[in-house]
Structure 1
Amino acid sequence: MKIKQAIDKIPGGLMLVPLFLGAICHTLSPGAGKYFGSFTNGLITGTVPILAVWFFCMGASIQLSATGTVLRKSGTLVITKIATAWVVAAIASQFIPEYGVEVGFFAGMSTLALVAAMDMTNGGLYASIMQQYGSKEEAGAFVLMSVESGPLMTMIILGTAGIASFEPQVFVGAVLPFLIGFALGNLDPELREFFSKAVHTLIPFFAFALGNTINLGVILETGLLGILLGVGVIIITGIPLIIADKFIGGGNGTAGVAASSTAGAAVATPVLIAEMLPQFKPVAPAATALVATSVIVTSVLVPIITAMWAKRMGNKPAVRETETAGLAEKA
C-alpha cells in the first residue's frame, strides 16, 4: 500500500491527515489516553514534549551562512509577513473580545487565530512553487522561513501588540530549545544533518497528539469561517508581500504571492500559546480548527494564484530541482 504517496497528494497532508485522525479519536473516545495509559497516553497527550523536540531540530536545521541575495529575499518576506500579522493583531484586538467571538457567523474567531494563521509561511510550499516560477535565490529564500515556525513569533506579536503579557522566563523557555538546536547545528554540520532528518519525521506525531485536543464538532462549526480566513490570509498578507518583494527584495512580486500561505506548523500554535497563557485556553480549540482549514485553503489557492501572477509577469516555468535541493541540504 502506498499510504505515504496518497498522503503527499493532499495539501499539507503530512500534518493534516494525522491531525484529523487524532480529532476522530478524541471525538469518539475522549478518554482513550487515560484508559490505555503508559506510552499510548504519552503519544495521545504529548503535544508539548513532541513539539519541543521538533522545535529543537528545526533550529538545528537552519544554517547561519547563506548568500546575501538569499538573506535579502528571505529576510524581506519573513519580516513583512510578521509585520503584517502584528498590524492585524493590533487592529483585531480593538474589535474582537479577549475570549473570541462567541455568537453568530464569526463564532470561534479570535485574535489568536488570526495571528497564528498569518505569521507563518508554508516554507515547503513556497520552495516548490518558486522552483517553477522563480530564480534559485528566490527558491532558496525558504532558509529563514523556519524562524517563523513554533510559538516564538506569535508570542512576540501578541506581547508587543499589548494583547498578552509573557513572563521573561516563559519567553526564554519557549525559545531555548530552538536556540540550542540552532547553535549546535551551526557549530557542527554533522549535527545539523543528523537533527534535520527528524524535522519531517516528527510532524505526524505532534499532529496526531494535537488532533486529540480537538472535537470534530468544532471543525464542522468553523469550516466556512476557516475558508474565509484562508482567503483573507492570502489577500491581507499577499499584498504587502508583493510590494515588499518588488521594492525591497528585487523581485516582481511572484515570491510575495508564493509566501502568502499558512504553515502547517501554525496549527499547533494556539494550543502551545494556551499552555503558556491559560487565558487563551477557551479559544484554543476553535482557533486550531480555523488555522487547520486555512492551511488547506492556502495550500490549494496559493499555487494557482502564483502561477497566474507569474504568467502575467512573464515568468516562464522552469524546473530547478537540483539547484534548490542543494540549497535545502545547506539550509
Structure 2
Amino acid sequence: MIKKNLERIPGGMMVVPLLLAAVINTFFPNLLRIGGFTQALFVDSVPVLAALYLLTAGAQLNVKSFGVSVAKGATLLGIKWFVAGVFTFLAYFLAGPNGLWLGLAPLAIMAAMSNSNGIVYMAVASQYGNKEDKAAYSVLVLNDGPLLTMVALSIFGAMGFVEGMFSATAFITVLLPLVIGIIIGNTDMELRDMLVKGSDIIIPFLSFALGMGINLTDVVKGGASGILLGVVTVVFTGGAAYLVFKALGWNPIVGAAEGTTAGNAVMVPGVIAAANASFLSVAPLATVQVAASAVTTAILIPIVLALLVKYTKFEDKSIASEDQETVHQINSAVSESQEFAFAGKVAGIDVSKVKTESYDTRPPLRK
C-alpha cells in the first residue's frame, strides 16, 4: 500500500524520502545521528550510495552497440551539456550578492539541465525512433552523476566564477566507479542485469541520506525556483535537441524527449560539495531545486511531447491521440521504482514490446 501510494506521486520514490528526512533533520536533528549502522545508513551513506549508483550506471553502457548510435547519443549529450553550461554561465554572471540568479543556484542549474531521464527517452525512442535512437541511450548514461557538472564547473573555475578547483583525485574518484561498472557490464551480461535491477533500491536510501543534510527552510526557499528550473529544462534543453535533430534529418520527437531532469540528479550537489568545499553552503538549496526540477519535468515532458506529435502530425501510434490519458497517467502513476513501466504508459507503449524490440535487450537502468 505504501509503495503504491508513493508511485502515484511524480518522482515519489525520490521526493518523499528526501522531504521526510528534511523534516526529521529540521525538528529532530539527532534522532538518527546515534552512530553505528543506523547513522551509517540513514545519514552518512551519500558517498557510498552515490558511488554504487555510478557503478550501476556504468554497467549499462554497452560498447558493442556503438555505431551510428554514437552520433545521436553524443549529440544529445553535447546539447544538454552546452545548454546547461550557457544558463549556468548566465547565472554566475548575473547572480546577486547571495550568489543566486532568479532564486536559482548555478550548481542546481548545471546539475539539473545536464542530466536527463533515460527511461522516458527509451520509451519515446521505442515508440517513434529506430534501433540507433534506442542504442544511443548507452551513451546518454554518461550524464548520470556529477562528472559532466564537475567538468563545467572546472571551466567556470578557470574563468574565475568558482572558488577553488577540483583536484585530479576528485575526478578519478568519480570516474573509477563508472569505469568499473562499464567493465563489469560488458564482461558479463548476468552481472549487468543484476546491477541494473539493483539500482532501483539505491535512490530512496540515497535521497533520504541527502535529506538529512537539508533544513526545511531550504525547501521553502528552493521549491518555487526549482519549478522554474524544470520549465527551463523542458523548454530549452528539449527545444534545442528537437531543433538540432530536425536540422540533421533525425527524428525530432526523440530529441525533445531529452528535456528532462532525472531523479538521480539530486545526488550531484552533495557529491560536488564533498569534492569542493566552496559549494557546501549552497548544496542543500541546490539539492531541493534539482528535486523540484525532476518532478516538474516528469509532469511536463509527456504533455509537451503529446502536443508536438499532435501539431507536427507525426505518424505512428500517436501519443497526441491520447492527450487526456497522458495527463491522467501523469497525475496518478509516476514511479521511481517502476519508471520504465510508467514511461511506457505515458507514451502509449506496450512495455513488453519495448523490451523485445530494444536494440540492447538488457533491462534499462532506472534514471
Please confirm whether the aligned pair reaches a TM-score higher than 0.5, indicating the same fold. Answer: yes
RMSD of aligned alpha carbons: 2.2
Aligned residues: 324
Say yes or no: does 1:319 pair with 2:319. Answer: no
Work out the CA distance in 2 between the residues paired with 1:136 and 1:12.
28
Matches within 5 A, 1:133-148: 133-135=128-130, 137-148=132-143
Structure 1 residues 133 and 9, CA, compared in 2 at 3 Å: closer, same or farther?
farther
Shift of 1:278: 0.5
State the SS of the aligned residue for 2:94.
coil
Work out the CA distance in 1 between the residues paired with 2:170 and 2:97.
21
1:103-148 residue CA offsets vs partner (Å, 9 max, x unmatched): xx944x2211110110001111222344444445434543322210
State the SS of the aligned residue for 1:144.
helix
Identify the match of residue 119 of structure 2 among 119, 124, 141: 124
Matches within 5 A, 1:169-318: 169-248=169-248, 250-315=249-314, 316-317=316-317
Decide whether the 8 Å contact of 2:81 with 2:114 is kept in 1: yes
Report what 2:340 is aligned to. none
Structure 1 residues 141 and 7, CA, compared in 2 at 3 Å: closer, same or farther?
farther
State the SS of the aligned residue for 2:145.
coil
Shift of 1:258: 1.3
Report what 1:44 is aligned to. 42
Structure 1 residues 70 and 4, CA, compared in 2 at 3 Å: closer, same or farther?
farther
Shift of 1:43: 1.5
Percentage of pairs with the same residue: 35
Decide whether the 8 Å contact of 1:119 with 1:153 is kept in 2: yes
Decide whether the 8 Å contact of 1:26 with 1:215 is kept in 2: yes
Decide whether the 8 Å contact of 1:136 with 1:320 is kept in 2: no
Shift of 1:281: 0.7
Work out the CA distance in 2 between the residues paired with 1:144 and 1:25.
38
Decide whether the 8 Å contact of 2:21 with 2:208 is kept in 1: yes
Task: Write the letter of the residue equivalent to 1:299.
Answer: A
Say yes or no: does 1:111 pair with 2:109. Answer: no
Deviates more, 1:316-325 or 1:202-211: 316-325
Structure 1 residues 190 and 280, CA, compared in 2 at 3 Å: closer, same or farther?
same
Report what 2:72 is aligned to. 73
Work out the CA distance in 2 between the residues paired with 1:142 and 1:28.
42
Shift of 1:69: 4.1
Matches within 5 A, 1:80-119: 80-96=79-95, 100-101=99-100, 106-107=102-103, 109-119=104-114
Structure 1 residues 132 and 13, CA, compared in 2 at 3 Å: closer, same or farther?
farther
TM-score norm. by structure 1 comes to: 0.90
Decide whether the 8 Å contact of 2:186 with 2:192 is kept in 1: yes
Work out the CA distance in 2 between the residues paired with 1:57 and 1:145.
14
Decide whether the 8 Å contact of 1:238 with 1:259 is kept in 2: yes
Decide whether the 8 Å contact of 2:222 with 2:286 is kept in 1: no
Deviates more, 1:137-146 or 1:181-190: 137-146
Q: Gaps (5+ residues) in structure 2?
A: 318-347
Decide whether the 8 Å contact of 1:73 with 1:141 is kept in 2: yes
Work out the CA distance in 2 between the residues paired with 1:325 and 1:17.
29
Report what 1:151 is aligned to. 146
Work out the CA distance in 2 between the residues paired with 1:201 and 1:229.
27
Work out the CA distance in 1 between the residues paired with 2:97 and 2:183.
37
Structure 1 residues 329 and 14, CA, compared in 2 at 3 Å: closer, same or farther?
farther
Shift of 1:280: 0.5
Shift of 1:57: 1.9
Structure 1 residues 142 and 14, CA, compared in 2 at 3 Å: closer, same or farther?
farther
Task: Write the letter of the residue equivalent to 1:161.
Answer: F
Task: Write the letter of the residue equivalent to 1:70.
Answer: S
Structure 1 residues 287 and 269, CA, compared in 2 at 3 Å: closer, same or farther?
same
Work out the CA distance in 2 between the residues paired with 1:323 and 1:161.
44
Structure 1 residues 169 and 296, CA, compared in 2 at 3 Å: closer, same or farther?
same
State the SS of the aligned residue for 1:59.
helix
Work out the CA distance in 1 between the residues paired with 2:61 and 2:181.
9
State the SS of the aligned residue for 1:32.
coil
Deviates more, 1:168-177 or 1:250-259: 250-259
Shift of 1:322: 3.7
Deviates more, 1:281-290 or 1:15-24: 15-24
